[in-house]
Amino acid sequence: MKEFELIAHLTKSLPTNENVVVGAGDDCAVLDLGIREKLVLFKTDAVVEGIHFTRETPPEKIGHKALARCLSDIAAMAGTPTAALVTIALPKDFDAEFVRKIYTGLNALAERHGVAIVGGETTTNPERILISIALLGTVPRRKQILRGGASVGDAIFVTGELGGSLADKHLSFEPRLAEARWLAEHFHLHALMDLSDGLAGDLRHILNASKVGAEILKSAVPVSRAAKVRAKENSAAKPAFVAALTDGEDFELLFTIASKEAVKLLDACKKQFPKLKLSCIGKIVAGDGILIRDKYGAHKFNGHGYVHFT
């Protein structure tokens, strides 16, 4: 059973209550706890040694990544993070200084984004380190942006560059919190999420939730230099374009908006965030799945992003 099959199996009969606005199936849960003008966002994520980092990874970067992944999901709802709990599981022979430096990286990122670390849990775990973050945030009422709002004719946008994240980006990325909030405040985004498992995999989440398809223009996809260099230097590596669609851990924003707003958005975003690369990579179409359009025409892309348990 693959990751998303398991998730579907486990979530089909979850209990709920009157506080739940959005449950399992989006980047964050959305809760109505009676706070005036605000809804609460709730998210958890984990990093595991041997999967998301190695013992040779600088510990400050491990802590940064552990929290940044959750912050990226708050960005995917155009929200503001507030407080986090940290659970850390350690082997019995752990190095206390190594663990302290993990918290140094985690705390520095939390302070930059105004996040309070309010407690957590420590426990043992045979052989490897595991860090799990539970994060709360807020979003203005009726302003949360979900995956299921994409419409036929929408333009598809991504921030930044894609692919090759293992060169360093997956450990040092900055969550697009400010960019997402600004976009949501100034434009009517139809669907929004962050790119954690690769464009091909994450775009399908939007397509499935919205019951639509997508056509991607190959020449418009912003392929990272790291992906191009890896493909050039290693004949066994994925082609750079395929890496941009499937590598994962880009932690950029993926969103759709009415096509008539696309040029206005590009111009306004360039003024607000001069250093941000923003690319219109295609459009939402009727049907399902992903079509790639290149000089030879349009053809179905069946590749996926990163999937656990494969």
Is there a contact between 77 and 139 (Cβ–Cβ < 8 Å)? Answer: yes
The whole-number pLDDT of residue 25 equals: 87
pLDDT at 307 over 80: no
Under DSSP, is residue 131 helix (H, G, I), strand (E, B) or coil? Answer: strand
| Residues 33-44, mean pLDDT to the nearest whole number | 96
Interval 170-220: pLDDT, tens: 999 999 999 999 999 999 999 999 999 999 999 999 999 999 999 999 999
Q: What is the DSSP string of 143-201?
A: ----STT--TT-EEEEES-BS-GGGTHHHH----HHHHHHHHHHS--SEEEE-SS-HHH
Interval 250-304: pLDDT, tens: 999 999 999 999 999 999 999 999 999 999 999 999 999 999 999 999 999 998 8
The whole-number pLDDT of residue 305 equals: 74
The whole-number pLDDT of residue 303 equals: 83
Structure-block tokens of residue 125 = 């775990």
Give the residue among 138, 136, 180, 146 at the shortest CA–CA distance from 39: 138
What is the crossing angle of helices 59-75 and 177-186, to 10°?
10
pLDDT at 119 over 70: yes
CA distance 48 to 54: 9
The pLDDT confidence band at residue 72, using thresholds 50, 70 and 90, is: very high
Give the residue among 223, 225, 226, 203 at the shortest CA–CA distance from 214: 203
The pLDDT confidence band at residue 236, using thresholds 50, 70 and 90, is: confident
**Structural domains present in the chain:** 10-140 (3.30.1330.10), 155-301 (3.90.650.10)
Give the residue among 233, 216, 228 at the shortest CA–CA distance from 301: 216
- The sign of the CA dihedral 69, 26, 150, 218 is positive
Instruction: Spell out the residues 6+ positions from residue 24 whose beta carbon is closer than 8 angstroms to its own.
Output: 7, 11, 14
pLDDT at 308 over 70: no
Instruction: Spell out the residues 6+ positions from residue 11 whose beta carbon is closer than 8 angstroms to its own.
Output: 23, 24, 25
* C-beta atoms surrounding 172 within 10 Å: 14
